[in-house]
Amino acid sequence: MSATPPSTETIRFPVSGITCGSCVNRITRAVRKLDGVSRVVVDLRRETATVSREPALVSNAALAAAVAEAGYAADLSTAMTVSPDEARGLLARLVARLPGASHPRGL
């Protein structure tokens, strides 16, 4: 019997009050602590957070509470689902474009 892999989704939402690298680190640590969160990227310039999560384990309310606990405000009413291609990092997207490149984990 094989277990069904957990369903994950990646969402992006605005976070107000981000002014420096310390803010980014504080938000990242707070959200990363939540069970079911596999990846957190906070963008200082765009004042957004991109989170890969298991929706069954991590609700929008839980994300908002974690961000608020760190001292910031998340607007999850405007959260957008991010496509898997867009969620991958820049390096992974560039490597995938190299001629003959194939990575077993699909960076």
Count structural domains, the chain. 1
pTM: 0.76
The tens digit of pLDDT for each residue in 62-80 reads 999 999 999 999 999 999 9
**Could you tell me if residue 43 is inside a domain?**
yes
Asked whether residue 44 is assigned to any structural domain, the reply reads yes
If one counts every other C-beta atom within 10 angstroms of the C-beta of residue 104, the result is 5
In this prediction, residues 50-63 reach a mean pLDDT of 96
Q: Which two tokens stand for residue 13?
A: 């939402």
Q: Which CATH number fits the domain that encloses residue 15?
A: 3.30.70.100
Q: Is residue 18, in this structure, part of any structural domain at all?
A: yes
**Residue 103: inside a domain:** no
Q: Using pLDDT thresholds of 50, 70 and 90, give the confidence band for residue 23.
A: very high
- What residues make up the domain containing 23? 9-97
Torsion sign (Cα): 71, 76, 79, 85: positive
